[in-house]
Structure formats: C-alpha cells, structure tokens
Structure 1
C-alpha cells in the first residue's frame, strides 16, 4: 500500500502541473518536448487528457493495492503492468528530450513512477 500511496501523491502533483499547463502557465519547457513556453491549444488538450490518464492510473494502483475495489483483480493486475510499460516508455522519451529542464526533471520523476508501478504490479 505505501507504493500505491506514493504513486498517487506523485500523480496528484503531476496533475496540478498539467492543469497549470492546460490553463496557460509558462511552464512548457518542462513538458511535451519543451519547445513551447506556453503550450499551444493541442498540447493544452494533451495536458487535460494526461490528468484523466493519471486518475485512471491512480484508481488501478489503489485497486491493485487493495485500498479500493472498483475493477476486477484481473483488470487491476494487467492494468498495472500496462502502466509499468507506459512509465518505462516515459523514461525513454523524457531522457531523449531536447529540453534540458524536461530531461533533468521529468526523467527521474518517471523513473520513480516506473519503480513504484512495478512494485504495485508485483503485488
């Protein structure tokens, strides 16, 4: 359960960050390739979608950890392995970002999320 709670806390912080980006905060150098200070409309929509994805991940993690019971055990288990793969892919994409702020900030964050999601997936 501690891994699921830690994962959810980090996702909540990232959701606030994505909300700020979606609302036009000049933090674009930390996300979406770092090419824009203020995100264009299509990337703002992407940030809003990311918030929904984070919520789904949180539900899967909490369900897999036994904190809530929203989906079947199979869905929670398979879902957490998919989430682990998603975060591993995120490590790679952030690590090769042309934006140094994104690379140096988000790569470690996503690495922690990958480790936590692996622990949750393993049960």
Structure 2
C-alpha cells in the first residue's frame, strides 16, 4: 500500500510540475498561485519562480518514491523528510494565502500530499 501512496504522491508532484510549465508558458492562472497577485498570466519574475519550483517538486516526488522503496532510487532517508518538510511548508502557505482560489484548490491538494508523504515516511 505504501508504494501505491508514493506513486499517487509522485503523480501529484508531476501534475504540479506541469502546472508550473503552463504558468511559464503564459497560462492565465495567476490568481491560483503565488498569492494570487496576478489575475492573468504571471510576469517574468513569477515565471522564474515557477521555473525554480519545478526541480523542487520533482525532487519531492522522487524522494517520496525512494522512501517507499521504489527500485533504482535508493536515496538517503533524510531526503524523504526534507521533501515532507517542504510539503508541509507549501501546505501552510497555500492555506494562509490571501487568494481564495489558491486556498480552495491548492490547500486541500497540498494537505492530502502532506498526509501521503507522512504515511510513506512512517510506514
């Protein structure tokens, strides 16, 4: 069961990476990210932040997969805990954002992802 939860976590992380790619390419989703300060497409500075977040979220997905014993990864256990801490910080930020759409969408998603990561890490 832990491996399946890790797969779900990694799939969600990959979906978030694709969301970031959409933001970089100019998708008008600014109100769903980075505090909702932009109604449409993000400015260049926001797109850079989206680009930086891609390797972070991919690292998180891989770290949780490794913690579940996914073959071929074998990362140190601490990487899973770093991923979990980043996930919890992300969750808190998504719940306290001034953007209602961001809270409504990303609050629950990141909360579930935090729970999934914790289940994998404590199994």
Instruction: Provide the rounded CA distance (Å) in 2 between the counterparts of 1:70 and 1:105.
Output: 31
Aligned residue pairs, count: 120
In the superposition, the TM-score normalised over structure 1's length comes to 0.90
State the partner residue of 2:31.
29
Residue among 53, 67, 72 paired with 2:56: 53
1:3 shift after superposition:
1.0
Name the structure 1 match of 2:110.
110
**Which runs of 5 or more residues in structure 1 are unaligned?**
none
Q: Render the CA deviation track for 1:47-76: whole Å, top value 9, x for unaligned.
A: 11211112211221221111133344xx2x
Q: Runs of 4 or more off by more than 3 Å in structure 1?
A: none
Q: State how far apart, in whole Å, the 2-side matches of 1:26 and 1:60 are.
A: 31
Query: What corresponds to 2:84 in structure 1?
Result: 84
Shift of 1:113: 0.8
Structure 2 gaps of 5+ residues are: none
Q: TM-score, normalised by structure 2?
A: 0.90
C-alpha distance after superposition, 1:1-40 (max 9, x if no partner): 0111000111121111110001111001100111012111
CA distance in 2 between counterparts of 1:12 and 1:56 reads 10
How far apart in 2 are the matches of 1:121 and 1:69?
A: 18
RMSD (Å), alpha carbons: 1.3
Bigger Cα displacement from structure 2, 58-67 vs 27-36: 58-67
Distance in 2 (alpha carbons) for counterparts of 1:65 and 1:39: 36
